[in-house]
Amino acid sequence: MVILIYLAIAGMLVTAVLALWKGGAPERLGVIIYAVINIVFQVASTQDSRSLLYSYETLGADLLIATGFLIVALRYSSLWLAGAMVAQGLATAIHGFHLEDEQINQKLVWMGVNVWIVANNVISSVVFWMLLGGTIATWRNRRRVKRAAKESAKLIADALSGGAHLAA
């Protein structure tokens, strides 16, 4: 079980580095928004994870991330960030549902698994899968455009050099 946590963290870090290195502006901003808000939340949160205030802080952080994704998705018309925004909106809804529970410290356990924690982890991985998909799509599109530009430049050069021989 611990190995899965380390693999998930490594996957998120690889996705973040790849998005910052090869992604377009929407993917970079998405990763920056996600990282900055989560880092500020972890540093600023002084509450115990079982307290009601911690749940409100988590809800606020998720709401800020979803709003940031919405702004970037609308600004760049990014389908990938729109998907990440929807997933982050689900995380916000899950936190709202958790706050609505009458006994906040009660764990919703199904077959020995804490459902709230699993749902949050799955949604976080979906957000990173969306960012990874957007990064790969942007990277491939950028390579395709460069390849097409090289081919068209070569065709133009061949046409100009071939036309010079015909004129002489």
**Alpha carbon of 92 to those of 65, 85, 144, 159: distances in Å?**
9, 10, 37, 58
Q: Please give the single-letter amino acid code of residue 19.
A: A
For residue 109, what pLDDT band results from cuts at 50, 70 and 90?
A: low
List of E strands, 14-133: 109-110, 113-114
Q: Report the chain's mean pLDDT, rounded to a whole number.
A: 81
Residue 16: count of CB within 10 angstroms of its CB: 22
Cα distances (angstroms) measured from residue 166 to each of 20, 28, 59, 163: 50, 50, 72, 5
pLDDT of residue 64: 92
- Which of 101 and 83 is assigned the larger pLDDT? 83
Q: Once rounded to an integer, what is the mean pLDDT over residues 65-82? A: 88
pLDDT digits (tens, 9 = 90+) for 117-138: 777 778 888 888 888 888 898 8
pTM here is 0.75
Number of H helices, E strands in the chain: 5, 2
* pLDDT mean over 105-122: 69
Distance from C-alpha of 62 to C-alpha of 41, rounded to nearest angstrom: 10
Instruction: Read off the pLDDT of each residue in 7-29 and give the average, rounded to a whole number.
Output: 86
With 80 as the cut, is the pLDDT of residue 111 above it?
A: no
Does the pLDDT of residue 162 top 60, yes or no?
yes
Percent of the chain scored above 70 by pLDDT?
A: 86
Per residue in 26-50, pLDDT (tens digit) is 889 989 998 899 888 888 877 676 6
CB count within 10 Å of CB 113 equals 11
3-state secondary structure at position 40 = helix
Who contacts 133 (Cβ-Cβ below 8 Å, separation ≥6)? 80, 83
Task: Measure Cα distances from 160 to 125, 146, 148, 155, 156 in Å.
Answer: 52, 21, 18, 9, 6
Beta bridge partner(s), residue 109: 114
Q: How many residues does the chain have?
A: 168
148-153 average pLDDT score: 89
Whether pLDDT at 141 is above 70: yes
pLDDT of residue 132: 87
DSSP 106: S
Identify any residues that bridge with 45 across adjacent strands, giving them in sequence order. none
Give the pLDDT of residue 71: 92
